[in-house]
A and B are shown apart, each in its own frame.
Chain A
Amino acid sequence: MAARNAIEAEGLTKRYGALTALDGVTFGVARGELFGLIGPDGAGKTTLFRLLTTLINPDGGTASIAGCDIVRDYREIRKRVGYMPGRFSLYPDLSVAENLDFFAALFGVSAEASRDLIAPIYRQIEPFRTRRAGKLSGGMKQKLALCCALIHRPSVLLLDEPTTGVDAVSRSEFWDMLSELKSKGISMLVSTPYMDEARRCDRIALINEAKILGIDTPQGIVSRFDEPIYALSGRDMYGLLLAARRAEGVRECYPFGEAHHLIPDAGFDAAAFARFLAGQGFADAVIRPAEAGIEDVFIKLMHHEQ
């Protein structure tokens, strides 16, 4: 049976003793889709990856990759997926080329077979082909790991936090590479704790404390935030935060970088609020309407869960 979806998960549950690492997770990744799994450490992302890569068996629910069941057909799945675990999982004492050759041998292919697929990525690390993998920079390591995961031309790529601990430039380059792979028809499930990377995905699932909070396109997720939201800034940010929380008509106020985000109760009057702040000694405070981001949605959904 040709499955329509690259990845299909239905009520996937995993327990470790009293701890539920994954609680009834249901989602699907279409063929050729770049699907993001966004959530903090401990949300259950790695457990989900280990289930999908058949490294562990679920306690409940089912899942399939490219039509193969993760429990029954696990050997078949291992031939078809490319996997990049969260930790750096190459041999630091082997050179770039040796690592690549080894992974090719592991999957019984020659490094040439996937040359066209990995060439754009490999080109960037080729100057260092004789360097030991352990001596590469964080960004380079990720690129090499991606090459190794692609060596057998998998149809589905599973990437567990590929950009953690890597600087912003390398992260952005890495996402560019994923977009390119997507254009070659590879389906991808990518997890990340960085909310700002969500916009690079076709669809995202927000995950927290073993549960999926919501699944949608990045725009769709943001549009779920159907309340007004204001940005509040001034010189004394901390004082402003405390003052805003004391003020009436303010449901919630939390730091959000340059400005605090403020979620008002119904009937909020921004001008009146500004006057109130001025009266409290924050004459320089600026309040203006803002657009909610994915983090705002995440925070809202987290509250909703609790």
Chain B
Amino acid sequence: MNNDPIISVRELSKRFGSFVAVDRITFDVARGEIFGFLGANGAGKTTAMRMLCGLSYPTSGSGTVAGFDVMRQGEQIKRRIGYMSQRFSLYDDLTVLENIRLYGGIYGLTRREILRRAVTLLDRLQFRREADTLVGSLPLGWKQKLAFSVATLHRPEVVFLDEPTGGVDPVTRRQFWELIYEAAAEGTTVFVTTHYMDEAEYCSRVSIMVDGQVRALGAPAELKRQFAAGSMDEVFRTLARGAKRTE
């Protein structure tokens, strides 16, 4: 396996007119890492994540995701990543199996392959009996776990998670993080944003964005030492209190 960083970003910027949404951010994410991408509302997280997913072009700077250039190879990037957001990820009016088939089809898996992976996925989540249940009628926590598994169905090299655990109960939240650990152990890189600062502690490394810039980068333990704080929540508040802009 190669040891190049799976995500590598240098001086990446995005301007909207005179507004600098993302201001020369630079960082690397190693393969298999769980990378927490934190920031206050309006700090530029979403814009930065869109650029990494090949959904929007940077104004300047450079970056690669899974070895492809974010400037020119958005399409190749999209094929190698998975994406899940709290707001939208599965169709409520399709059954569990129909959702799996749909996403497998979108990523060009063969029918046999989809079926094989669907069985593995359902077994792992102990969802076998719910295969023909409408996703809309599942409890929120189940949906989130399913959404994550579907987002990694095509074995992407990186999976981007946008606030994946909002509002789920503590037990399910832990099961969700176990899925993330498992994916990371199998070599998938996990790039995750969250408002739960205690969740930042699960990450191997985190970055904290303030006013479009990356102001802190490191393992949670390191950052807590650096800012002489007892928790990531304190680290975050120390940094974000100085923020000049709100959305």
A contacts B directly (C-beta below 8 A)? yes
On A, residues with C-beta under 8 Å from B are 39-43, 135-140, 164-172, 193-196, 208, 236-239, 241, 254-258, 295, 298-299, 302-303
Considering the chains assembled together, what is the distance between the CA atoms of A196 and B231 in angstroms? Answer: 11
Considering the chains assembled together, what is the distance between the CA atoms of A161 and B184 in angstroms? Answer: 32
Any A CB within 8 A of the CB of B139: yes
Considering the chains assembled together, what is the distance between the CA atoms of A39 and B168 in angstroms? Answer: 9
Chain B residues closer than 8 Å to A241, beta-carbon distance: 178, 181
Please tell me if the beta carbons of A255 and B202 are within 8 angstroms of each other in the complex: yes
**Nearest B residue (CB) for A194:** B196
Assuming the contacts A42-B139, A170-B41, asked whether A239 and B185 have C-beta atoms less than 8 A apart, the reply is yes
Considering the chains assembled together, what is the distance between the CA atoms of A168 and B239 in angstroms? Answer: 11
Chain A residues closer than 8 Å to B170, beta-carbon distance: 40, 195, 295, 298-299, 302
Please tell me if the beta carbons of A208 and B169 are within 8 angstroms of each other in the complex: yes
CB distance from B98 to the nearest CB of A (A): 23
Any A CB within 8 A of the CB of B103: no
**Nearest B residue (CB) for A235:** B204
Considering the chains assembled together, what is the distance between the CA atoms of A40 and B198 in angstroms? Answer: 16
Considering the chains assembled together, what is the distance between the CA atoms of A254 and B202 in angstroms? Answer: 12
Quick one: which of A40, A138, A255, A258 contacts B167, CB cutoff 8 A? A40
Assuming the contacts A41-B140, A42-B139, A258-B201, asked whether A167 and B167 have C-beta atoms less than 8 A apart, the reply is no
Offer 14 A-B interface pairs, CB within 8 angstroms, sorted by A: A40-B140, A138-B41, A139-B41, A167-B39, A167-B41, A168-B237, A169-B40, A169-B237, A195-B170, A196-B197, A255-B181, A257-B200, A257-B220, A302-B170
Considering the chains assembled together, what is the distance between the CA atoms of A247 and B59 in angstroms? Answer: 53
Chain B residues closer than 8 Å to A258, beta-carbon distance: 201-202, 220-221
CB distance from B131 to the nearest CB of A (A): 22
Chain A residues closer than 8 Å to B182, beta-carbon distance: 238
Number of A-B residue pairs with CB-CB distance less than 8 Å in the complex they form: 104
Chain B residues closer than 8 Å to A255, beta-carbon distance: 174, 177-178, 181, 202
**Nearest A residue (CB) for B197:** A168
On B, residues with C-beta under 8 Å from A are 39-42, 139-141, 163, 166-172, 174, 177-178, 181-182, 184-185, 195-202, 220-221, 233, 236-237, 240-241, 243, 246-247
Quick one: which of A172, A196, A238, A256 contacts B181, CB cutoff 8 A? A238
Considering the chains assembled together, what is the distance between the CA atoms of A193 and B86 in angstroms? Answer: 15
CB distance from B245 to the nearest CB of A (A): 9
Please tell me if the beta carbons of A167 and B141 are within 8 angstroms of each other in the complex: no
Chain B residues closer than 8 Å to A257, beta-carbon distance: 198-202, 220
CB distance from B162 to the nearest CB of A (A): 12
Please tell me if the beta carbons of B246 and A137 are within 8 angstroms of each other in the complex: yes
Chain A residues closer than 8 Å to B236, beta-carbon distance: 168-169
Please tell me if the beta carbons of B233 and A168 are within 8 angstroms of each other in the complex: yes
Considering the chains assembled together, what is the distance between the CA atoms of A298 and B40 in angstroms? Answer: 28
Nearest first, the 3 A-B pairs at minimum CB distance are A257-B201, A40-B169, A41-B167
Considering the chains assembled together, what is the distance between the CA atoms of A194 and B178 in angstroms? Answer: 19
Chain A residues closer than 8 Å to B171, beta-carbon distance: 299, 302-303
- Additional A-B contacts beyond A40-B140, A41-B168, A140-B246 (11; CB < 8 A): A43-B169, A165-B195, A166-B41, A172-B237, A196-B198, A208-B169, A236-B185, A237-B181, A241-B178, A257-B220, A299-B171
CB distance from A296 to the nearest CB of B (A): 8
Please tell me if the beta carbons of A193 and B166 are within 8 angstroms of each other in the complex: yes
Considering the chains assembled together, what is the distance between the CA atoms of A193 and B144 in angstroms? Answer: 16
Considering the chains assembled together, what is the distance between the CA atoms of A139 and B181 in angstroms? Answer: 32
CB distance from A149 to the nearest CB of B (A): 21
Chain A residues closer than 8 Å to B141, beta-carbon distance: 40
Please tell me if the beta carbons of B240 and A169 are within 8 angstroms of each other in the complex: yes
**Nearest A residue (CB) for B201:** A257
**Nearest B residue (CB) for A192:** B167
Chain A residues closer than 8 Å to B198, beta-carbon distance: 195-196, 257
